[in-house]
Amino acid sequence: MDPISNPYTPGAGVRPYELVGRGEFIDGFDVALQRSGLRLAARSKILYGLRGVGKTVLLQEFVEHARRRKWLVIEMEARTGQSLMSVLVGQIFQELRDAGRTWSGETLTWVRRVFKAFSLTADPSTGTYSFEVDLEPASGHADSGDPDRDLPEMLGELVSLAGHHGVGLLLAIDELQEVDGPTLSSLNTTIHRMGQGPEPSPFLFVGAGLPSLRRILSEATSYTERLFEYWQIGPLSDDAIRAALKGPTTAHGVRWDPEALDAGVEFCRGYPYFAQVLGQRAWDVAEGTPIARDAVAEAIRYAGRDIDAGLYAARWQRATRGEQRFMQAMADSGGGPVLMSELVTALGRDRPAQLSPTRNQLISKGLVYAPDRGEVDFTVPGMAEFVKRQEVL
Ligand SMILES: Nc1ncnc2c1ncn2[C@@H]1O[C@H](COP(=O)(O)OP(=O)(O)OP(=O)(O)O)[C@@H](O)[C@H]1O
Ligand SMILES: [Mg+2]
């Protein structure tokens, strides 16, 4: 069918035609948002899961819901080696500038002045940010240079501004596992403080990232298990995958042959990214409605190649030979989390410490993560099978 009108959305963070199978999380977030708006206790959320399971699109859905309620929203993506504070400064600036379109008055001016003081210490490299009217920085506020003090103060001012206008503040950070330990600790302190006091502040935090987040956060501060509600974003049910495959074509008056759909569901193994890749291929291959069995069989072959090329091959090639050998030993161990001690034996070493540099490199390249201490696993679903298909090194 016409590729120009192809309704599928393979990619990173690309909003699908319909966000299937995540209703429970969306409802849970809405309850938290409304409770928080009413200054009732509501816990911040951490979305964790493997690559391509749909964390970013869900996070964006939450952001959308907060915006619909006219909340202030600070959203960003953490990157390796980049200072979160400087990105945060830029995002706060944008939000405070945009706030000027609907709000005015002393509270807004005051928060902008605190922001100026904050930005000068938090990110001196970018110079001053200016609003329509030039403002004096509110010296002595959120500008001590200690993020443990400045971050809660700055965000606290934003929450007051939001509260003053009858809404709240949502802070949403994607790829949270990339944030360095000290900044995470300041972030945790901030979130913790927002929940204290005579009544909770209208503030919510949502973080998304790899399954190692739970451990990383609790290593940064001790009370995170109580601070956050952890939501595991796992594979979708077969029914949800069926809906992800079928939904986008319905609007075009195109059906899927039931057997073709079953074959598609089996191929996807619950991964929404696979559903988007397969759907896209099936649309292109199919002659018209219904999308037939043989068209899907052909699309599955193409989609398999697309996934190999787009998801696995680039990652595999990013690894050195030593790292590839390490991954082969992981894949050979049967899939799922592997103990480092097992890999020591498999790779003919004496101690786990000898493998630490390779393991750390693979973590920083984003290929593996540590689900728990002394364990490693692949970040991408199906990577073990791909690795097994590679030539033995
Ligand atoms: N619930 C869903 N329904 C339909 N499609 C989805 C759903 N969730 C994700 N997708 C699709 O799956 C793909 C991956 O989504 P997304 O980028 O949000 O995953 P992710 O978990 O953030 O991955 P990464 O860890 O690589 O950042 C996208 O093509 C998106 O359109
Ligand atoms: Mg993502």
Cα 301 to Cα 278: distance, rounded to the nearest angstrom:
9
Distances (CA, A) of 131 to 12, 118, 136, 258: 33, 15, 11, 58
Confirm or reject: Cβ of 52 under 6 Å from ligand 1: yes
Question: Are 247 and 110 part of one and the same domain?
Answer: no
Question: What percent helix, strand, coil does the chain show, rounded to 5?
Answer: 55, 10, 35
Which of 297, 315, 333 delimits the end of a domain?
Answer: 315
Question: Are 248 and 168 part of one and the same domain?
Answer: no
* Average pLDDT taken over every residue of the chain: 94
pLDDT band at 81 (very low <50, low <70, confident <90, very high): confident
Per-residue pLDDT tens for 280-330?
999 999 999 999 999 999 999 999 999 999 899 999 999 999 999 999 999
CATH number, domain with residue 309:
1.10.8
Question: Are 197 and 135 part of one and the same domain?
Answer: yes
Confirm or reject: Cβ of 245 under 6 Å from ligand 1: no
Residue 9 domain flag:
no
Residue 10 domain flag:
no
Residue 246 domain flag:
yes
Q: Angle formed by the axes of helices 84-102 and 147-164, to 10°?
A: 20
CATH number, domain with residue 325:
1.10.10.10
Residues facing residue 45 across a β-bridge: 206, 229
Residue 33 domain flag:
yes
| Ligand whose nearest atom lies closest to the CA of 22 | 1
Q: How far is the CA of 12 from the centre of ligand 1 (A)?
A: 6
Residue 13 domain flag:
no
Long-range CB contact pairs, 140-146, < 8 A, 24+: 141/113, 141/114, 141/117, 142/114, 142/115, 142/117, 142/118, 143/117, 143/118, 145/121
pLDDT band at 335 (very low <50, low <70, confident <90, very high): confident
Cα 44 to Cα 268: distance, rounded to the nearest angstrom:
31
Cα 224 to Cα 191: distance, rounded to the nearest angstrom:
10
Question: Are 224 and 90 part of one and the same domain?
Answer: yes
Structural domain containing residue 281? 238-315
Ligand 1 atom at minimum distance from 14 CA: 31
> Across residues 263-269, what is the average pLDDT?
97
Q: What is the pLDDT of residue 126?
A: 67
User: CB within 8 A of 46, min separation 6: which ones?
Assistant: 176, 206, 207, 208, 209, 213, 214, 217, 228, 229, 230, 231
Query: pTM value?
Result: 0.93
The residue contributing the CA closest to ligand 1 atom 9 is 54
Which of 181, 214, 232 delimits the end of a domain?
Answer: 232
Q: How far is the CA of 13 from the centre of ligand 1 (A)?
A: 6
Q: How far is the CA of 184 from the centre of ligand 1 (A)?
A: 25
Question: Are 85 and 152 part of one and the same domain?
Answer: yes
| Ligand whose nearest atom lies closest to the CA of 236 | 1
Residue 393 domain flag:
no
Number of domains in the chain: 3
Question: Are 114 and 224 part of one and the same domain?
Answer: yes
Residue 27 domain flag:
yes
Confirm or reject: Cβ of 235 under 6 Å from ligand 1: no
> Across residues 100-126, what is the average pLDDT?
91
Residue 5 domain flag:
no
Per-residue pLDDT tens for 125-160?
766 688 877 888 898 999 998 988 999 999 999 999
Question: Are 308 and 328 part of one and the same domain?
Answer: no
Q: What is the pLDDT of residue 393?
A: 78
| Ligand whose nearest atom lies closest to the CA of 54 | 1
